[in-house]
Amino acid sequence: MPDTASQRPQKRLVLASAAAGRRALLARIASRFDVEPADIDESPLPGEPPRALSQRLAREKAQAVWHRLGAPTGSKTKNGSDQVAECAGRILGKPVVRFVSADEPWQCAGGFKVERAGISLFSRVASADTTALIGLPLIFVAEALRAAGFAALPEPG
């Protein structure tokens, strides 16, 4: 009887982001993945709430890379990710000049890095998954990878 597992298309994990932080986070739980930046317009739509913006950008990044790679049905699971910082319902964009030299948060939502000096700007940070604050919610991603049939831990060695 032929080995049907070897006849299935090879699953390929692709990170649709140019962010070095997301790449480093994903490497903590996945040993093999490709990086394909989505290169989309990340401007908010007029009146777009922060949560809707984040969800739309995640979806558009995944779809842009999916289409660019010509992904056949069943060969990949797409999972986009994006984050938007907000304060009192107002979207906080990329950082301003006065803080950039101290923390280099160029690609960070809200212009701070909770894992660096940016933590000093806050009195409290609450998150069910602290890696989401850095750029990629690893608890969710690990669960999604396992559900899609990927190993969720790097191979030793």
With tokens 């101290």, the residue in question is 102
Q: Are 114 and 133 in contact (CB under 8 A)?
A: yes
Q: Are 125 and 112 in contact (CB under 8 A)?
A: no
- Residue 88 Rama label (left phi>0; alpha psi -120 to 50; beta): left
- Residue 131 Rama label (left phi>0; alpha psi -120 to 50; beta): alpha
Element (H, E) at 34: strand 34-35
Residue whose C-alpha is closest to residue 102's, from 121, 83, 87: 121
Residue 14 dihedral angles phi and psi, to the nearest 5°: -125, 125
Question: What tokens does 118 get?
Answer: 């940016």
82 assigned to active site: yes
Q: Which of 34, 39, 41, 82 is an active site residue?
A: 82
Active site members: 82
